[in-house]
């Protein structure tokens, strides 16, 4: 009787244990299925679907990523400088006193615009001599060689030419000198004359005070055309053989790349840095660059191009966690963010890694795709 009772208890325990194991396995299976469903849901949530009409209105362009030839570049520090070939210095040629200022620092001036009026005793003497010589020459021409000897005729002409040349040498323009002589007004012989701008540009220096006596060669104004500037890059001499005049170059300043070209290469090393100067010419849109500003320079070499995966710069966006990302078309109209690494950036394209050739990537309209993804409430952390 006791043996039968023990057998019955043992069978009951085995039955309960089997049911417990089955319940555990069922729970595990349900949990795994739930996790799979959640992963699938997250994957779907990580994508954004755009209709053909949305893609058309947003101007979205999708291209297949392929390896493209990319030129090698040399990177070097640089400094923005004035374009000396588009600059002028205004100085007096004789001792004079500053009478009136016509332009100020920062002014935009045009060719022939008055800058400063000066007065000089030497100029007054030259003006008087020129006026007398002009009148004598006019008289000699009118009388002719039958009344005035040939020698007197030649002497009058030479005296006039020399007096006129002295006015120009002292700082008057040809028009100013001719106006003085044509008027034959003695009261105009007062030694005053006005220096004019020889070019269009910006006044970047005007260190003088009205009433000051200035010496010949003393700087009054400095003008420059800031629409095109120079950048002096400091390059390792070992890399110079890879560079050439006219080579494309880029300058990074103000948060963007500005394209230019190599115009000159120095032939003497800098004694301090032991580097060689390479001069670039770059445009200066909206007056964003200024002399003395330090910039980063990249110059294209003459080495054969290498193949690499490249994307337009506009195709690359920052994800919420700060990494670079692009949008990959997994299915027609289905876009998913994919993080990439920028190997190096060129003028309008970037060399990237993290994608395989053949992948279809949004190259135009990526910002719209990102905005639509953000509307769904999903924050991209695609590691």
- Mean pLDDT of the 321-345 span: 89
Whether residues 366 and 325 share a domain: the answer is: yes
What whole-number distance in Å separates Cα of residue 144 and Cα of residue 151? Answer: 12
> What is the CATH classification number for the domain harbouring 279?
2.40.30.170
Rounded mean pLDDT, 50-55? 90
- Sequence-distant (≥ 6) Cβ neighbours of residue 151 within 8 angstroms: none
Q: 334: domain CATH number?
A: 2.40.420.20
Give per-residue pLDDT as tens, 172-196.
999 999 888 887 667 788 999 999 9
Domain boundary residue among 259, 278, 300? 300
Nearest 5°: phi and psi at 225?
A: -95, 105
- Residue 145 forms part of a structural domain: yes
Share of the chain above pLDDT 70, in %: 85
Answer yes or no: do 129 and 186 share one domain. Answer: yes
Distance from C-alpha of 129 to C-alpha of 237, rounded to nearest angstrom: 59
What distance in Å separates the CA atoms of residue 233 and residue 255, rounded to the nearest whole number?
18
Residue 218 lies in a domain: no
pLDDT at res. 21:
46
Which residues span the domain enclosing 330? Answer: 48-69+306-375
Confidence of residue 327 (pLDDT cuts 50, 70, 90): very high
Q: What is the pLDDT of residue 20?
A: 46
- Lowest mean pLDDT across 106-115, 129-138, 148-157, 272-281: 148-157
Whether 17 is covered by a domain: the verdict is no
Q: Where does the pLDDT of residue 347 fall: very low under 50, low under 70, confident under 90, or very high at 90 and above?
A: low
pLDDT score of 29: 52
Which residues are registered as beta bridge partners of 96?
214
Q: Report residue 319's pLDDT band, with 50, 70 and 90 as the boundaries.
A: confident
Q: Do 341 and 317 lie in a common domain?
A: yes
Domain match, 265 and 323 both: no
Residues 355, 318 within the same domain: yes
Domain boundary among 270, 300, 330: 300
233 and 177 both lie in a single domain: no
Question: What band does 45 get if pLDDT is binned at 50, 70 and 90?
Answer: low
Pair 138, 160: CB distance under 8 Å: no
Please indicate, yes or no, whether residues 288 and 328 belong to a single structural domain of this protein: no
Ordered alpha helix ranges (H), 75-191: 121-143, 150-170, 174-183
**Inter-residue contact 299 to 236 (CB < 8 Å):** no
What band does 256 get if pLDDT is binned at 50, 70 and 90? confident
* Mean pLDDT of the 207-234 span: 95
| Number of H-type helices and E-type strands within the chain | 6, 24
Residue 58 lies in a domain: yes
Which pLDDT band holds residue 382 (cuts at 50, 70, 90)?
Answer: very low
Whether 277 and 312 map to the same domain: the answer is: no
- Answer whether residue 225 shows pLDDT above 70: yes
Estimate to the nearest angstrom the gap between the alpha carbon of 221 and the chain centroid.
26
Residues 368 and 311 in one domain: yes
Q: Evaluate whether residue 155 is within a structural domain.
A: yes
Average pLDDT over residues 116-125: 96
What's the chain's Rg over C-alpha atoms?
40
pLDDT of residue 40: 45
- Note whether 294 and 230 are same-domain residues: yes
Total domains in the chain come to 3
Kindly state the average pLDDT of the residues 79-85.
Answer: 95
**Same-domain check for residues 77 and 59:** no
Please, what is the average pLDDT of the chain? 84
Instruction: Indicate the pLDDT class of residue 139, thresholds 50, 70 and 90.
Output: confident
Of 258, 282, 300, the last residue of a domain is 300
Does residue 179 sit within a domain? Answer: yes
Per the rule left: phi > 0, alpha: psi between -120 and 50, beta: everything else, 76 is beta
Pairing relation of β-strands 96-101 and 73-81? unpaired
Is 203 a member of any domain? Answer: no
Q: How open is the CA angle 202-208-209, to the nearest 5 degrees?
A: 125
Cβ neighbors of 187 (< 8 A, separation 6 or more) are: none
Q: Is residue 20 part of a domain?
A: no
Residues 286 and 315 in one domain: no
In angstroms, the Cα distances linking 277 to 79, 102, 193 are 10, 38, 42
């Amino acid at each position: 009787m006791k043996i039968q009772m023990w057998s019955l208890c043992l069978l009951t325990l085995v039955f309960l244990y089997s049911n417990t194991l089955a319940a555990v396995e069922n729970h595990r299976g349900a949990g795994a299925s739930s996790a799979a469903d959640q992963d699938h849901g997250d994957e779907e949530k990580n994508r954004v679907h755009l209709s053909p009409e949305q893609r058309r209105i947003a101007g979205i362009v999708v291209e297949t990523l392929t390896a493209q030839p990319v030129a090698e570049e040399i990177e070097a520090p640089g400094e923005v400088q004035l374009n000396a070939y588009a600059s002028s210095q205004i100085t007096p040629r004789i001792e004079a006193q500053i009478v009136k200022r016509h332009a100020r620092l920062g002014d935009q001036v045009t060719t022939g615009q008055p800058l400063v009026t000066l007065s000089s005793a030497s100029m007054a003497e030259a003006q008087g001599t020129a006026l007398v010589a002009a009148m004598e020459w006019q008289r000699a021409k009118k009388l002719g060689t039958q009344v005035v000897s040939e020698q007197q005729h030649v002497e009058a002409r030479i005296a006039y030419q020399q007096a006129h040349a002295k006015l120009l040498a002292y700082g008057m323009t040809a028009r100013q000198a001719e106006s003085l002589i044509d008027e034959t007004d003695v009261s105009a012989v007062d030694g005053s004359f006005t220096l004019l701008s020889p070019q269009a540009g910006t006044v970047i220096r005007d260190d003088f005070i009205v009433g000051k006596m200035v010496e010949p060669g003393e700087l009054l104004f400095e003008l420059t055309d800031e629409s095109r500037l120079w950048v002096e890059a400091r390059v390792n001499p070992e890399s110079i053989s890879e560079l050439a005049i006219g080579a494309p170059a880029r300058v990074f300043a103000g948060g963007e790349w500005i394209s230019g070209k190599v115009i000159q290469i120095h032939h003497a090393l800098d004694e301090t840095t032991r580097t060689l100067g390479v001069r670039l010419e770059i445009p200066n849109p909206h007056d964003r660059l200024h002399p003395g500003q330090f910039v980063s320079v990249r110059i294209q070499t003459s080495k054969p191009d290498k193949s690499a995966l490249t994307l337009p710069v506009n195709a690359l966006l920052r994800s919420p966690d700060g990494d670079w990302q692009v949008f990959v078309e997994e299915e027609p109209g289905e876009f998913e963010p994919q993080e990439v690494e920028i190997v190096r950036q060129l003028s309008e394209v970037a060399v990237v890694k993290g994608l395989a050739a053949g992948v279809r990537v949004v190259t135009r309209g990526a910002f719209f795709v990102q905005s639509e993804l953000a509307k769904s409430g999903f924050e991209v952390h695609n590691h």
